[in-house]
Amino acid sequence: MKHITLLYPEGQCNLSTIACILGTVEIFSRAGEYWVQAGNTPRYRLVVAATVPKTQYVHNLVALSPETYIGDIAKTDLIIIPSAMPGENTADRQVMFDWINRQYKAGAEIASMCSGAFILAATGIMDGRSCSTHWAFADRFRNMYPEVNLHSDKLITDEKGIYTNGGAYSFLNLLIYLVEKYYDRQTAIFCSKVFQIEMDRNSQSSFAIFTGQKQHGDTMVQQAQAYIENNIDEKISVEGLSSKFATGRRNFDRRFIRATGNTPVEYAQRVKIESAKKALESTRKTVNEVMYEVGYSDVKAFREVFRKITGLSPQEYKNRYNKETAGKY
């Protein structure tokens, strides 16, 4: 029987941490029961392990008692890191990082959920590899771990025994993915039906809310961002924008990318599509009406950019999120 370690990481834990732990225990327990009922021998043993030798952790209304301490686990086959930030730079945190690194070098696979990607990245294991986390943490993550290839649009990444997933309760989709990996497709389908979790979701783009990175201190770029956001209905050219701020196109591009993580064109597209999303969610306007309001005149171009950013067509997005429209389908 193989071994799965589900961490309770001493750090910045919250109710999402507890939710990840409880959801993992329940889904893997049900998968194991189904597997045995089908005539198979038990395959995995899952334990909840503390990263600091405590007997109980209390957070708000929840008290959690880990089964063991990571220092007592010599070998494990899979480490699951729930939603949690690394916390302060303490000796206990380094013990956790060292233990994760040691287990990985010994052949263990690792899965992180939501902000748990920050803990995984802090170990150094993710440098040069693909990773996902909650879309709301994307800018912070890129600033802290520039060597990691963050794909904040992806719901799940899978690279050389490292699994990561997007935000919040999308950890349930990662669990179904892991059940298929560690049991089989049929067990995963069973769990998806029992717990009513959609299978094979691969994007979190439609959930993202674009706010733009403005904590960079470049006044010119902040002014350019404000201009783009205040003139959504205009077709903005980068040449015109750079000349407005009396700087060359190449220098303008370079400063904008360094400050925001987006090119000026990408930023304008995201601002326009975010405005379009809100209109599609809350008004009776047609897709074409919304398209014109955010500065597009070419239906095909609007649809392509909208799908690129959200993973859905404008009409699909309206059908999903507009209450009045939803009742008609």
- Alpha helix segments (H runs only) across the chain: 15-37, 91-105, 116-122, 138-144, 171-182, 185-194, 219-230, 238-244, 249-260, 264-282, 287-293, 299-310, 314-321, 323-326
CATH number, domain containing residue 104: 3.40.50.880
Number of domains in the chain: 2
Q: Is residue 263 part of a domain?
A: yes
**Residue pLDDT, tens place only, 109-168:** 999 999 999 999 999 999 999 999 998 999 899 999 999 999 988 899 999 899 999 988
| Residue finishing a domain among 178, 205, 232 | 205
Burial class (CB in 10 A: 0-12, 13-18, 19+), 250: exposed
pLDDT of residue 325: 64
Alpha-carbon dihedral 213, 219, 224, 229, rounded to 10 degrees: 50
Please indicate, yes or no, whether residues 72 and 116 belong to a single structural domain of this protein: yes
Q: Do residues 240 and 185 both lie within one domain?
A: no
Within a domain: residue 212?
A: no
Is the pTM above the cut of 0.75? no
Same domain, 123 and 189: yes
How does DSSP assign 225-275, residue by residue?
A: HHHHHH-TTS---HHHHHHHTT--HHHHHHHHHHHHSS-HHHHHHHHHHHH
Give DSSP secondary structure letters for 64-94: E--SEEGGG-S--SEEEE-S-B--S--HHHH
Rounded to an integer, what distance in angstroms lies between the CA atom of residue 72 and that of residue 154? 35
Structural domain contains residue 90: yes
The CATH number linked to 270 is: 1.10.10.60
Domain that holds residue 234: 219-326
Within this chain, do residues 140 and 277 fall inside the same structural domain, yes or no? Answer: no
Q: 3-class SS at 166?
A: coil
122 is written with which tokens? 């802090």
Average pLDDT for runs of 10 along the chain of length 329: 93 87 97 96 96 80 88 97 89 94 97 96 95 92 94 89 92 95 93 91 76 84 92 90 91 91 92 93 93 95 94 92 64
If asked whether residues 83 and 223 sit together in one domain, one would say no
- Looking at the fold, whether 167 and 52 belong to one and the same domain comes out as yes
Residue 298, pLDDT score: 94
Instruction: Choose the final residue of a domain: 143, 170, 205.
Output: 205
pLDDT of residue 326: 52
Do 90 and 24 share a structural domain?
A: yes
